[in-house]
Amino acid sequence: MQQFSVHKIGPEINIGGIDLSFTNASLFMVISASIILLFLFIGTKEKKIVPGKIQLIAEMFYTFVAKMISDTAGSKAKPYFPFIFSLFMFVLFCNMVGMLPYSFTVTSHIIVTLILALFIFIAVTIIGFAKHGFKYLSIFVPSGVPAVLLPLITVIEIISYLSRPVSLSVRLFANMMAGHTMLKVFGGFVISLGLLGGWLPLSFSVALTGLEILVAFLQAYVFAILTCIYLNDALNLHH
Amino acid sequence: MKLYLNFFIAFFAIQGYLYAAEAGMPQLDPKYWASQGFWLILIFTILYFSISKFYLPKIKNNLDDRENRIKDDIEDANKSKELSESKLKEYQKILEDAKKEVIKIQLESKAKSDKDINEKKEKIEKEIEKELVQAQKDIAELKKNSISDINNISKEIVANIIENLSGDKLNESSIKAAVEEISKKNVGKYL
């Protein structure tokens, strides 16, 4: 579990008794963000009518996220496009950078995903109340439900709404941690079973690496699309 | 039995790994939570602003430009198509007109040449007739001349023959009369 441990890099930064030191987690956040910015810089450097490779990929990301938002949340969600794009890119690149050997997976830490999820949850709630006022509470009372079931359904709806940040953050965190732990376990088997028996876990390790790359993309996608769905609930109030 | 033992050992090994994983989950150690949260918020904010202020508008502009360019190109292509279609129609019209003209010219020239030929034919026929008449006239004259020539020649030949046979000269006028009489009698045989 050494791969998940956080340790300080450089001097200790202590503001108001809180330890805000630069750590390896911060370093890999910086690396992921720098890769995104570098990639976008190269992708937008030349404004070609017929795009080059990097430009094409950047534009593909753009249209991919734009399509995702317009499909799930409609045209009202357009002002939030930059945020969802940044979120998707950040999670995706943190996951992908985490796939490199000896690197650190930022998103495998519950605190990181929880902060992201809580921010989304609070922002969506504020947007909902700002757009609809107290009518936003009607999200907890689905229409067309028999009166007998209504109290129960409402309670379930409230619980499910409040558990959104938890499910959103735990999903990403658990997926990343489980994947990396599994890779580590199989990697350990390769060593412990040696030359004779190590080939089977090694092949598993190779297959799992492919799977993990898929998961890395998929979890970023799921994180972004769930954000879109929550936004949709807040923007278009019909349950 | 040995196989089962192996399985047992493998099972405990996996268990050991998993417990080790659970025992030391650094994610649940709150020591660096504040630091991670601080740096996450800082870095994500920077990322968000640079993406939303610089890169997304650039990409959007480029995509819009391309879409406009494609639209313009399609419009241009449609215009060119229409133009070429109208040109084609014009061309076909010209072609048809030319065909009509050709037929007309053909007919005209045929009529003209027919007339020409007829005229020339008539003229030539007339000339031929004239020539014919002249030739007949010439022949008739030649005949007449030739008779007198023949008479003269025969008269000389006869005079010579007689002179050679008998030795003396006969009266020329009597020979002439005799030859003319004979030729008059026999002229129908030779002409």
Q: Which of B45, B184, B146, B12 is nearest to A116 (CA)?
A: B45
One-letter amino acid for residue B15 of the chain: Q
B75-84, B85-94, B118-127, B159-168: which has the minimum mean pLDDT? B159-168
Q: Give the pLDDT mean for A38-63.
A: 89
The per-residue pLDDT for B11 is 56
Q: Which of B117, B21, B8, B110 is nearest to A188 (CA)?
A: B21
The per-residue pLDDT for A114 is 95
CA B176 distance to own-chain centroid: 85
Q: Which residue has the tokens 């010209």?
A: B94
Average pLDDT, chain B: 84
What are the tokens at B147?
A: 């008779």
Please tell me which of the candidates A4, A47, A185 has its beta carbon nearest to residue B27.
Answer: A4
> Distance between CA A65 and CA A89 in Å, rounded?
10
> Distance between CA A220 and CA A50 in Å, rounded?
29
How many Cα atoms are found within 13 Å in the side-chain-facing hemisphere of B80?
6
Is A29 in contact with B35 (Cβ distance < 8 A)? no
The per-residue pLDDT for B3 is 55
CA A212 distance to own-chain centroid: 14
Whether A54 contacts A42, CB under 8 Å = yes
The per-residue pLDDT for B120 is 94
How do residues A176-209 score in pLDDT, each as one tens digit? 999 999 999 998 899 888 888 889 999 999 999 9
Contacts of B18 in chain A (CB under 8 A): 185
CA A19 distance to own-chain centroid: 25
Torsions phi, psi for B44 (to 5 deg): -65, -35
Q: Give the pLDDT mean for A104-109.
A: 92
In Å, how far are A188, A210, B116 from A203, measured between CA atoms? Answer: 13, 11, 104
A138-152, B11-25, B95-109, B173-187: which has the minimum mean pLDDT? B11-25
What is the least distance, in Å, from the CA of B21 to any CA of chain A? 6
One-letter amino acid for residue B47 of the chain: L
Mutation for testing the A interface, residue in B48, B49, B52, B72 having most A CBs under 10 Å: B48
Domain ranges of chain A: 38-235
β-bridge pairing A18-19 and A14-15:
antiparallel
Is B36 in contact with A6 (Cβ distance < 8 A)? yes
pTM score: 0.71
C-alpha dihedral sign at A191, A192, A196, A198: negative
Percent over 90 (pLDDT), chain A = 63
The per-residue pLDDT for A47 is 79
Res A130 pLDDT > 60: yes
Please tell me which of the candidates A1, A22, A86 has its beta carbon nearest to residue B20.
Answer: A1
> Distance between CA B168 and CA A189 in Å, rounded?
171
C-alpha dihedral sign at B18, B22, B27, B29: negative
Whether B44 contacts A86, CB under 8 Å = yes
> Distance between CA A25 and CA A23 in Å, rounded?
5
A103 touches chain B (CB under 8 A): no
Eight-class DSSP state of A144: T
Is B14 in contact with A30 (Cβ distance < 8 A)? no
Q: Residue window 61-80, chain A: list those with CB within 8 Å of chain B.
A: 62-63
| Band of residue B151 on the pLDDT scale cut at 50, 70, 90 | confident
The per-residue pLDDT for B164 is 83
Contacts of B59 in chain A (CB under 8 A): 40, 43-44, 58-59, 62
- Nearest-5° Cα angle at A170, A168 to A176: 110
Strands, E, within chain B: which ranges?
A: none
Here the ipTM equals: 0.91
C-alpha dihedral sign at A165, A171, A173, A174: positive
Contacts of A81 in chain B (CB under 8 A): 56
For chain B, what's the residue count?
191
> Distance between CA A55 and CA B59 in Å, rounded?
9
